[in-house]
Amino acid sequence: MSTLPTEFERTDIGEIQIAPEVIEVIAGLATIEVKGVAGMSGGFAGGIAELLGRKNLSRGVKVEVGQREAAVDVSVIVHYGHRLPEVAAEIQRNVKRSIETMTGLIVVEVNVQIHDVHLETTEKNRSEEVEFSQRVK
């Protein structure tokens, strides 16, 4: 991944460089803004999934950055009940729009990998779990 400034990033008073990690954070934030996304996933090899509210905003995001273009891969967990293709398409649109607006790079592709579906735990389910766990002590 290159952080070399392009001609576009040279100004009269210096150079502007955007680290690939910054692109990853932008893509992560744009992803978790989408309705239906429960969190980011490090993938099957990455261990336990990371749900919203965690510190690592680039988890589950990989980018390739060139001089003028970027390609992004995101791995997500989706809330149960949402249409997966619609959530994935909205992630693609939001990530592309956010990166292009904030950096000026052209996003050539956004690949979305859905690794899991997150089930909401209701109060009833929690009380049943507690009752069951107390019964089998």
Across the range 41-56, mean pLDDT stands at 54
Say what the pLDDT of residue 130 is.
Answer: 56
Contact 135, 127 (CB under 8 A): no
Across the range 113-119, mean pLDDT stands at 93
DSSP H/E element including 10 = strand 10-11
Across the range 68-81, mean pLDDT stands at 96
Superfamily of structural domain 7-135:
Cation efflux protein, cytoplasmic domain (3.30.70.1350)
Is the pLDDT assigned to residue 13 strictly greater than 60? Answer: yes
Binned at pLDDT 50, 70 and 90, residue 10 comes out as confident
Residue spans of the domains in the chain: they are 7-135
Is the pLDDT assigned to residue 4 strictly greater than 90? Answer: no
- The percentage of residues in the chain with a pLDDT greater than 70, rounded to a whole number, is 72
Residue predicted with more confidence, 88 or 55? 88
